[in-house]
Amino acid sequence: GELIIREGHYQYNVHDLVRKFGSSLEIFMPFVIEDRLNKLHDIFNSTIKRAGYKGKFFYHYPMKVNQNKEAVLPLVSEGAHLEVGSVNELSLVRKLWEGDAVHHNIRVLCNGPKTRSYVDLIFHMWEKQLRIVPIIEDLQELDVFKEFRGDIGIRINLETKVKSRWDKKADRFGLTAEELLGLGKIRNFKILHYHIGSQIELGEDIIRALKEAVSVYAKLRRIHPSLDTIDIGGGFAVPYEKKRLYNADAVVRRIVNTLKQLAEKAEVPHPHIIVEWGRYIVAPAQMSAFKIVSSKEVPKGLARRWYVIDG
Ligand SMILES: *Cc1c(COP(=O)(O)O)cnc(C)c1O
């Protein structure tokens, strides 16, 4: 059959594209990610307005999801900030920055273990006027960034565990709540960050983790007055299978309302909100087309046919 992609007044027939460029073929649709990001901004901003919430919303694109310029450039031009997890990704940001390809008040969060070259590049980019924020993963890193003049974030390892695509038993990213609360005063501590996994199965789990994080945030806020942002990481699921998932409107409403209620109860200002939902924004924007080289019947399997493709 024929599958048509429509973009405004243009349309592309996938079969024609494959005839023209050959297979296997990856087709990337930047207008889809622009659309998804704009909608996400709209959902958060209108919910924040309706709820009378005082904090702001920021989207940070996790570059590990897709580092190609076809994905990164449309996102930053629509106002996305960035999140990187290694020196390799930060080197790509450096190229964009030096080539004037990104807007000037973009903010870049640096997660992941800080190797020597990663630390050096973070300091270098700070000197080059990029708004760069190292996210501290362990106590040694805290020491390394003592001299850092910009904002810093710290990653918390939550007790809340959720069903997701993530090896929970091995997760030792971040500091425990106890370690965090035992820290002395950190002058430029701005962001409390966590990431509980990818492809989180239940919307309720996003809220459970948030509740635990806010309770620690409120305690930390009394010690660190510079702390004003909570970063809930990635994990919003996309439908790879025919299965009903939660939707963004409902989850965003619950995130904003939960934050509002708990912050007011604890008598701290409403925090700014960062999300790093990666695949949620990018997954629907790409498709791969293959030619079937041969096929066989599967007598007793879950699928009816077995295909060998040219990928
Ligand atoms: C992988 C990752 C993300 C993105 O995860 P998605 O499941 O694509 O939303 C965001 N933040 C961090 C720290 C990550 O490691």
SS3 of the chain: the string is CCCEEEECCEEEEHHHHHHHHCCCEEEECHHHHHHHHHHHHHHHHHHHHHHCCCCCEEEEEEHHHCCCHHHHHHHHHCCCEEEECCHHHHHHHHHHHHCCCCCCCCEEEECCCCCHHHHHHHHHHHHCCCEEEEEECCHHHHHHCCCCCCCEEEEECCCCCCCCECCHHHCCCCECHHHHHCCCCCCCEEEEECCCCECCCCHHHHHHHHHHHHHHHHHHHHHCCCCCEEECCCCCCCCCCCCCCCCHHHHHHHHHHHHHHHHHHHCCCCCEEEECCCHHHHHHHEEEECCEEEEEECCCCCCCEEEEECC
Q: Are 275 and 252 in contact (CB under 8 A)?
A: no
Residues 160, 254, 71, CA angle at the centre, nearest 5°? 85
User: Mean pLDDT, 10 residues at a time, over the chain (311 residues)?
Assistant: 90 94 94 96 98 98 94 96 97 96 95 96 97 96 94 94 69 87 92 94 94 97 96 94 89 98 98 97 94 90 86 87
Measure the CA–CA gap between 231 and 193, rounded to whole angstroms.
Answer: 4
pLDDT of residue 241: 83
Contact 278 CB / ligand 1 (< 6 Å) = yes
For residue 209 and ligand 1, the question of a CB distance below 6 A is answered with no
The whole-angstrom separation of Cα 125 and Cα 93 is: 9
The alpha carbon of residue 262 and the mean position of all alpha carbons in its chain are separated, in whole angstroms, by: 23
Atom of ligand 1 nearest to the CA of 155: 13
In 3D space, the residue among 76, 51, 49 whose CA is nearest the CA of residue 63 turns out to be 76
User: Rounded to an integer, what distance in angstroms lies between the CA atom of residue 130 and that of residue 84?
Assistant: 14
CB 277 near ligand 1, within 6 Å: yes
Give the Cα separation of 261 and 276 in Å (integer). Answer: 23
In the structure encoding, which two tokens stand for residue 134, read together? 């190292």
pLDDT for position 75:
96
The predicted structure's pLDDT at residue 99: 95
pLDDT score, position 171? 65
Q: Can you give the length of the chain in residues?
A: 311
Contact 266, 213 (CB under 8 A): no
Pick the residue whose CA is nearest to atom 2 on ligand 1: 234
Q: Is the CB of 65 under 6 A from ligand 1?
A: yes
Q: Which of 255, 260, 256, 192 is nearest to 223 (CA)?
A: 192
The pair of structure tokens assigned to 206 is 């996003």
What per-residue confidence (pLDDT) applies to 291? 93
If you measure from the C-alpha of residue 197 to the centroid of ligand 1, how many angstroms do you get, rounded to a whole number? Answer: 7
Q: Tokens standing for 266?
A: 């604890």
